[in-house]
């Protein structure tokens, strides 16, 4: 054809008549349909498409396309473009497209084929993801705004600015305090007592060594935790990886402190009353630092546990808590009970530095004007929480740690207590 000359009329008519047959081939270059939920016949469609791409026209009894009429040409060999267009048409049908093009013979009117690609282009856009749900906050953060929740602080500096206030007046809880508890007798004795390691294990210089040697404190705490873990049956099914994680120094750990008549047992080995001691690693540490006259590890735990009174639960926990943050006090009692009237909670503190004399190591305390007893139906394993109780600084006691005062104790019915609002410690061990 000579450039610049108009097309002959016959050629133009032939081109127009050929347009319907070109529609399937044009569809082969349209964008793929959007992904959607699997169609029941998706596997069959994919298999048919693969067979057509390999040159196989499909099963011999493959029915004609619904668009094929009585006057359609019989099926026969098709070009690669036609086969690809037919396969895409089937896949488009399986994905829910409304286009009727892509018949086996390629005959029939084009119908709405021109609208198909536009719909597919619109549907093929990346879907906008739903908005992310609001980030949940930890329970202790609900009393703060997001900006003010638990800001970082320097624990040492903050604790140095706090007043022990150990002569604080007792608090009278008005209107029941909003907790499942009741008033008892007026508290006339000392609310909080203290003890020293020298007083329990005399003649060893225990308090001096404990206060002045971070290495001793770390080794003592590490050995004690390992012995408790290894002799607590509830931990025996845990993996070595879980053991390492639970024994990390910033992880809390619990068990029983009782050794002499306790229910401890070694994994696959001896238990209480079967010969041999329980706290073997702790014994080695105490002997190495305090000499041959040092107590065994069993004697160490049972000696401190004896301060718990006549009917203790023997529960023990090593608490680290939140460090380098300021948190709100959460006033509560652990059980709201004191069996036989002499059962006490005992705290052994591990300071964060040598020769420390200050607050932030022990729990904070509010002395009560009258005993506070848990309701009879209150579960003994759940704390009695005074969530709505507002306590002024006048009544908050921040007990001091120092050499010769490594231990404090109190009856759970005489005081409310809380984690320090600013903790500065390695840990505190609670014996009950």
Residue 212 pLDDT: 98
Tell whether the torsion through CA atoms of 375, 380, 386 and 387 is positive or negative.
negative
Mean pLDDT of 396-423: 97
Contact status, residue 304 vs residue 257, Cβ threshold 8 Å: yes
Query: What does the radius of gyration of the chain's CA atoms come to, in whole angstroms?
Result: 40
Report domain extents, the chain: 141-431
How does pLDDT run across 375-407, given as a tens digit for each residue? 888 998 899 999 889 999 999 999 999 999 999
More confident residue, 90 or 330: 330
Q: d(Cα 60, Cα 44) in Å, to the nearest integer?
A: 15
Q: Are 192 and 217 in contact (CB under 8 A)?
A: no
The three-point CA angle 94-100-105 to 5° equals: 105
- Between CA 389 and CA 385 the distance in angstroms is 9
Among candidate residues 177, 219, 221, the one with its CA nearest the CA of residue 348: 221
- CA distances to 107, 267, 284, 290 from 237, rounded to whole Å, are 72, 9, 26, 35
Burial of 270-305, coded b for 16+ CB within 10 Å and e otherwise, reads eebeeeebbbbbbbebbeebbeeebbbbbbbbbebb
pLDDT of 180: 77
Mean pLDDT check: name the lowest of 89-103, 113-127, 167-181. 89-103
| C-alpha distances out from residue 201 to 101, 197, 204, 206, Å | 95, 6, 7, 7
Query: Is pLDDT above 60 for 254?
Result: yes
- Structural tokens at position 63: 């029915």
Instruction: pLDDT band for 52, please (50, 70, 90 cuts).
Output: very low
Token output for 321: 């808590």
pLDDT in tens, 324-359: 999 999 999 999 999 999 999 999 999 999 999 999
- What are the phi and psi torsion angles at 25 (to 5°)? -65, -35
Percent of the chain with pLDDT over 70: 62
Dihedral sign of CA atoms 401, 407, 412, 414 in order: negative
> Is the separation of the CB atoms in 34 and 95 below 8 Å?
yes
Residue 94, classified by CB atoms within 10 Å of its CB into exposed (0-12), middle (13-18) or buried (19+), is buried
- For residue 42, the model assigns a pLDDT of 38
Under 8 Å between Cβ of 420 and 211 = no
Using the predicted structure, report yes or no on whether residue 73 has a pLDDT greater than 60: no
Residue 22, pLDDT above cutoff 90: no
Nearest Cα to Cα of residue 400 among 356, 344, 430? 356
Asked if residue 337 lies in contact with residue 144, where contact means CB atoms within 8 angstroms, the answer is no
Query: How open is the CA angle 253-196-220, to the nearest 5 degrees?
Result: 40
Write the DSSP symbol of residue 66: T
Structure tokens that stand for 357 in this block? 């004399």
Name which of 428, 429, 420, 430 is nearest 156 in CA terms. 420
Cβ–Cβ < 8 Å for 162, 422: yes
State the pLDDT confidence band at 276, using cuts at 50, 70 and 90: confident
């Amino acid at each position: 054809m000579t450039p610049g000359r108009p097309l002959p009329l016959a050629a133009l008519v032939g081109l127009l008549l050929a347009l319907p047959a070109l529609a399937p081939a044009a569809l082969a270059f349209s964008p793929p349909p959007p992904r959607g939920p699997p169609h029941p016949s998706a596997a069959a469609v994919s298999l048919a498409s693969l067979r057509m791409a390999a040159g196989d026209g499909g099963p011999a009894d493959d029915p004609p396309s619904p668009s094929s009429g009585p006057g359609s040409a019989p099926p026969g060999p098709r070009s690669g473009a036609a086969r690809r267009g037919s396969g895409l048409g089937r896949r488009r049908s399986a994905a829910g497209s409304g286009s009727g093009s892509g018949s086996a013979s390629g005959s029939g009117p084009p119908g709405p084929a021109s609208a198909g690609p536009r719909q597919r282009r619109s549907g093929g856009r990346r879907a906008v993801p739903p908005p992310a749900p609001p980030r949940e906050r930890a329970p202790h953060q609900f009393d703060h705004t997001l900006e003010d929740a638990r800001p970082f602080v320097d624990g040492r500096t903050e604790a140095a600015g706090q007043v022990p206030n150990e002569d604080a007046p007792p608090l009278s809880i008005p209107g029941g305090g909003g907790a499942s508890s009741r008033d008892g007798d007026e508290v006339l004795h000392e609310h909080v007592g203290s003890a020293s390691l020298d007083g329990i294990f005399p003649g060893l210089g225990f308090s001096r060594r404990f206060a002045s040697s971070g290495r001793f404190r770390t080794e003592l705490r590490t050995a004690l935790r390992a012995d408790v873990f290894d002799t607590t049956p509830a931990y025996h099914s845990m993996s070595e990886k879980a053991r390492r994680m639970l024994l990390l120094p910033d992880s809390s750990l619990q068990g029983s402190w009782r050794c002499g008549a306790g229910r401890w047992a070694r994994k696959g080995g001896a238990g209480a009353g079967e010969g041999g001691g329980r706290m073997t690693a702790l014994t080695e540490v105490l002997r190495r630092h305090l000499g041959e006259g040092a107590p065994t590890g069993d004697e160490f735990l049972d000696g401190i546990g004896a301060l718990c009174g006549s009917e203790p639960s023997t529960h023990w926990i090593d608490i680290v808590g939140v460090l380098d943050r300021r948190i709100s006090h959460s006033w509560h009692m652990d059980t709201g009970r004191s069996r036989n009237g002499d059962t006490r909670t005992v705290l052994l503190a591990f300071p964060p530095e040598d020769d420390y004399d200050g607050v932030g190591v022990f729990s904070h305390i509010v002395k009560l004007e009258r005993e506070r007893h848990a309701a009879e139906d209150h579960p003994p394993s759940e704390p009695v929480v005074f969530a709505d109780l507002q306590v002024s600084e006048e009544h908050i006691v921040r007990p001091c740690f120092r050499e010769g005062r490594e231990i404090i104790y109190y009856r759970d019915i005489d005081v409310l207590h809380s984690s320090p609002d600013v903790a500065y410690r390695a840990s505190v061990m609670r014996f009950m």
